[in-house]
């Protein structure tokens, strides 16, 4: 007698029946976002450069290999299209742009983002300062000085980008209004972080009271206390 045929009890992943675009990783949406807001045909390397400049201060900048992997996925889903172009006389490159399907998926992702989505900030510099008791003061100063220099470089870079955008008239381009607003927000945040880091560094340096006693960079004049004046005394006129 043949064995009875049992029903298939294999578990199906929870999102297996959802549309493919709803299961895209964040990097795929990052790629779509860069292609969408710039309104350009970009290679994987150019997408990386745009992401590094415009997103790394508040989100992240994926590696080129990761971008290429997501471009392959998006291409298979019909959300981007590719075209081979000739660079110079010999070199060829693949460039990509979003399709209507990709623009629709991106708009849907933005609209469906949960309102209570947590914002996670990981600041390794502050973590090291938080554990500063376990390191020599000069190590902490070096950590802070390095970060201060990085912030100064980022400020210079963003200011240059704003001036270049103005030179090209890009601030009048509707599709770039929101990215420009975020760029200005990021710049304000960097100025704030720069001032905050300088104050934090001064505070850390101030913990070394012995070094301050030896500090001869400024003269230490005497403090002359005023004499107490009797309550009923009068001043001769």
**pLDDT reported for residue 173:** 80
**Whole-number mean pLDDT of the chain?**
83
Q: What is the mean pLDDT of residues 126-153?
A: 93
Of 114 and 92, the one with more pLDDT: 92
Give dist(CA 202, CA 140) in Å, integer.
Answer: 11
The tens digit of pLDDT for each residue in 160-176 reads 988 888 888 877 788 78
What are the DSSP calls for 151-188, one per residue? HHHHHHHHHHHHHHHHHHTGGG-GGGHHHHHHHHHHHH
Give the separation between CA 158 and CA 47, rounded to whole angstroms: 18
Helix (H) or strand (E) holding 210: helix 209-214
Contacts of 15 (CB under 8 A, 6+ apart): 22, 23
Cβ contact 158:182 at 8 Å:
no
Q: What does the pLDDT average to over 66-89?
A: 92
Weakest mean pLDDT among 10-14, 17-21, 132-136 = 10-14
DSSP 200: H
Confidence at residue 235, expressed as pLDDT on a 0 to 100 scale: 57
Taking residues 135-159, report their average pLDDT. 93
What are the two backbone dihedrals, phi and then psi, of residue 57, each rounded to the nearest 5 degrees? Answer: -80, -20
Locate 30 and state its tokens. Answer: 């990052």
Q: Decide: pTM greater than 0.75.
A: no
Return the minimum-mean-pLDDT range out of 8-12, 81-85, 141-145: 8-12
Q: pLDDT, tens digit, for every residue of 13-69? A: 333 344 544 568 888 999 999 999 888 899 999 999 888 887 877 887 788 999 999
| pLDDT value of residue 112 | 83
Do residues 207 and 136 touch, judged by C-beta distance below 8 A? Answer: no
Tell me how far CA of residue 40 lies from CA of 32, 79, 105, in angstroms: 11, 15, 18
Give the pLDDT band of residue 229 (cuts 50, 70, 90). Answer: confident
What pLDDT, on the 0 to 100 scale, is given for residue 2? 37
> Does the pLDDT at position 70 exceed 90?
yes
Model confidence at 133: pLDDT above 50: yes
Q: Among 3.40.50.1950, 1.10.10.10, 2.40.128.120, 3.30.930.10, what is the CATH number of 20-106?
A: 1.10.10.10
147, 154 contact by CB (below 8 A): no
Q: How many residues does the chain have?
A: 237
pLDDT at 22: 53
The two tokens of residue 14 are: 């929870």
């Amino acid at each position: 007698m043949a064995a009875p045929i049992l029903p298939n009890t294999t578990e199906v992943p929870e999102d297996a029946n959802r549309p493919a675009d709803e299961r895209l990783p964040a990097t795929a949406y990052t790629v779509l976002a860069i292609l969408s807001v710039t309104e350009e045909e970009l290679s994987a390397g150019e997408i990386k450069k745009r992401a590094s400049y415009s997103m790394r201060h508040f989100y992240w900048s994926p590696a080129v290999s990761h971008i290429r992997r997501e471009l392959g996925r998006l291409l298979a889903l019909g959300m981007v299209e590719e075209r081979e172009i000739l660079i110079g006389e010999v070199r060829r490159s693949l460039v990509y742009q979003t399709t209507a399907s990709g623009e629709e998926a991106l708009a849907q992702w933005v609209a469906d983002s949960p309102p209570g989505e947590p914002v996670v900030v990981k600041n390794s510099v502050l973590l090291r300062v938080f554990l500063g008791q376990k390191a020599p003061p000069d190590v902490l100063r070096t950590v802070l000085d390095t970060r201060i220099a990085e912030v100064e470089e980022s400020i210079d870079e963003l200011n240059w980008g704003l001036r270049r955008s103005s030179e090209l008239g890009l601030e009048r381009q509707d599709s770039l209004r929101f990215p420009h607003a975020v760029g200005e927000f990021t710049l304000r945040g960097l100025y704030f972080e720069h001032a905050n880091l300088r104050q934090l560094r001064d505070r850390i340096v101030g913990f070394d009271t012995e070094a301050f006693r030896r500090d001869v960079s400024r003269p230490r004049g005497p403090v002359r206390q005023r004499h107490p004046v009797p309550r009923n005394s009068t001043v001769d006129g």
